[in-house]
Structure 1
Amino acid sequence: MAIAVRYAAFAAVATALNLGAQGVLLAFYDGPYRLSAALVLGTGVGLVAKYILDKYWIFADPSEGLANHARAFSLYTVMGLATTAVFWGTELLFDRLFGGHWTLVGGAIGLVIGYTVKYQLDRSFVFRRTV
């Protein structure tokens, strides 16, 4: 399977996990900072899942050991800060403009944009392998 197809499939899986976690929280929690809590939860779930998928099946990173994983995950997270800002900004914009289910539609659009940029960042700075 071509890397682009695999990456798109894994991005779809991470997006589903992210938005699913948000949806669950939004369905059951109606307290203060509801959307902020959903964004943080979804981002955490998606981040961990996508890191594992990318490390092993996109970039085939052979490094092992706690120090190597900590370095790679830290860099992976840092590379995701700007793309997370795009994702959160798009979701919050859709929430502000349209509300309801459109909030998560905005999140999905933001994630597509973010993952497109993040691949290049991860390839260049995190895993440093030519794919």
Structure 2
Amino acid sequence: MVRQFRQQSSSSSVAARYVAFAVLSTIANFAVQAIVLQIAPWSSLMPSILAGTAAGFALKYVLDKKWIFFDRYTSHNEELSKVVLYGLFSVLTTLIFWGFEIAFWTIWKTELAKYTGGAIGLAIGYISKYTLDRKFVFKPGEA
């Protein structure tokens, strides 16, 4: 069934799913942050950010693995290796996003510039992340 779906998936449908999964993981991230702040309003912001990041990361990894790259589970060691690489590439591409957002803010010092830089950084980051994940994490020959 997954093989049939994979063969029928066009580039545009993969791109649409990839964007939808990014949105879903962001929503999960923010929702978990809000829940943590509700449960423990006296705590600092960091526990909520860490919990939200973990939730968004886990959701995006599972969705990408199954519905973007059609990757199958092979072993604990292989899966751990994939999670670590996926995480490293997530950090790298987040730095691209932050770099553009900060650079645009620094140069033009407007909210519009900040968000424009952020949008450009996110686009470059997600395209880079997809390419890195496809080449190094979820290798097509292994999926």
State TM-score, norm by structure 1: 0.69
Q: Once the two structures are aligned, what percentage of the paired residues are identical?
A: 35
Matched with 1:30 is 42
Label 1:85 to 1:21 Cα distance change in 2 as closer, same or farther (>3 A): farther
CA contact (8 A) 2:14 2:68 kept: yes
Judging changes above 3 Å, is the alpha-carbon distance between structure 1 residues 66 and 122 closer, same or farther for their aligned structure 2 residues?
Answer: same
Structure 1: stretches of 5+ with no match in the other structure: 91-104
RMSD: 3.3
**1:43–1:86 CA distance, 2 compared to 1 (3 A):** farther
Distance 1:30 1:88, change over 3 A: farther
Matches within 5 A, 1:86-97: none
1:48 to 47, 53, 58: 58
- In the alignment, is residue 16 of structure 1 matched against residue 27 of structure 2? yes
**Amino acid across the alignment from 1:77:** G
- Give structure 2 stretches of 5+ with no counterpart: 1-8, 102-114
**How many residues of Structure 1 are paired with residues of Structure 2 in the alignment?**
116
TM (normalized to structure 2)? Answer: 0.64
Which has the higher relative contact order, 1 or 2, with Cα contacts under 8 A spaced 6 or more apart? 1
8 Å contact 1:15–1:111 — kept in the other structure?
Answer: no
**In structure 2, what residue type is equivalent to 1:65?**
S
